[in-house]
C-alpha cells in the first residue's frame, strides 16, 4: 500500500463463554486502530426482539418465520461499540438473564444464522482498516479466509470466577453450571456450532492475566502483518 499504510487485516476470535473474547478483541482493535464487532451482541439483540414480541422461543419455525424482520445495527468503534434494534438502543437489555438463558435456542435456528452471518460479512467487508470479529463460528463459517484466527479457552472454574466477579454476589457454582450448559448448547447445534477452526491458534487464558492475553494476540497480529 502507498504512504506506508498497513493492509487491512481481518482477525477472527472465537471461543466458549467467558474466555475473554470481548475484552481481548476490544483492546486489540483499539491498540491496532481496527474496527471491532461483537457478534454475540447481534444474536442477543435478535433474541431480545423475539422475547419482546412474544415469539415462542421453543418453536424454531416461529422464530424462522420472523428472523428477517428486526433491523439490527452494530457500531464498530472499539472505544464505544453500540447495538440497536429498529433504532432502539438495546445495549443494556440484551445482557439480562432472560436474554442470556434464551439466546442459544434462537441462535441455533438456521434462518437466524443465515441473516446474522450475512450482516457480519458485510460489516467486515466495509471495515477499511480491518476488523477484529469475535464470536463462536467466525473462523469456521463467517470469515473462513480471515488473516488470523484465534481460539480462546479457559477452565470452567476460571471463567465462572471471572463472571461471578462481574455479577457481584453471584454464586460461582450456579454461574459455572449456566456457562457450561450454554457452551454445550452452542457446541451441539447443527448449523455452525461453536468450534475451533483447523488453522486457528489456540490460547489457553486460564493462567494468563487480561493484559497478557491482549499482548499475545497483538503480537500474533503483528507477526502476521510482517509475514512471519
**Footprint of ligand L45E5XJ5 on 121-150 (CB under 6 A):** 135-138
**Which residue has the closest beta carbon to ligand ATP?**
20
Task: Indicate whether 200 belongs to the interface with ligand L45E5XJ5 (CB under 6 A).
Answer: no
In whole angstroms, give the CA distance from residue 72 to residue 63.
16
| Number of residues engaging ligand ATP in binding (CB under 6 A) | 17
Contact flags string 131-170 toward ligand ATP, x per CB under 6 A = -------------------------------xx--x----
16 among annotated binding-site residues = yes
Indicate which single residue of 10, 20, 49, 106 sits in contact with ligand ATP (rule: CB under 6 A): 20
Q: Which residues bind ligand ATP (CB under 6 A)?
A: 15, 17-23, 40, 162-163, 166, 205, 208-210, 213
Q: Which residues bind ligand L45E5XJ5 (CB under 6 A)?
A: 17, 39-41, 43-44, 103-104, 107, 135-138, 182, 186
Amino acid at each position: 500500500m502507498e504512504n506506508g499504510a498497513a493492509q487491512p487485516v481481518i482477525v477472527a476470535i472465537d471461543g466458549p463463554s467467558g474466555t475473554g473474547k470481548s475484552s481481548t478483541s476490544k483492546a486489540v482493535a483499539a491498540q491496532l486502530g481496527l474496527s471491532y464487532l461483537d457478534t454475540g451482541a447481534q444474536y442477543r439483540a435478535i433474541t431480545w426482539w423475539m422475547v419482546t414480541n412474544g415469539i415462542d422461543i421453543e418453536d424454531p419455525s416461529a422464530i424462522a418465520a420472523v428472523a428477517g424482520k428486526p433491523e439490527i445495527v452494530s457500531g464498530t468503534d472499539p472505544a464505544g461499540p453500540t447495538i440497536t434494534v429498529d433504532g432502539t438502543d438495546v445495549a443494556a437489555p440484551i445482557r439480562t438473564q432472560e436474554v442470556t438463558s434464551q439466546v442459544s435456542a434462537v441462535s441455533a435456528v438456521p434462518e437466524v444464522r443465515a441473516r446474522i452471518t450475512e450482516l457480519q460479512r458485510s460489516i467486515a467487508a466495509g471495515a477499511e482498516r480491518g476488523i477484529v470479529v469475535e464470536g463462536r463460528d467466525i473462523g469456521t463459517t463467517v470469515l473462513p479466509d480471515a488473516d488470523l484466527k484465534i481460539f480462546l479457552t479457559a477452565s470452567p472454574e476460571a471463567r465462572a470466577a471471572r463472571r461471578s466477579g462481574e455479577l457481584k454476589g453471584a454464586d460461582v457454582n450456579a454461574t459455572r453450571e449456566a456457562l457450561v450448559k450454554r457452551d454445550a448448547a452452542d457446541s451441539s447445534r447443527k448449523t455452525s456450532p461453536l468450534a475451533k477452526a483447523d488453522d486457528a491458534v489456540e490460547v489457553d487464558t486460564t493462567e494468563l492475566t487480561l493484559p497478557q492475553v491482549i499482548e499475545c494476540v497483538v503480537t500474533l497480529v503483528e507477526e502476521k502483518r510482517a509475514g512471519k
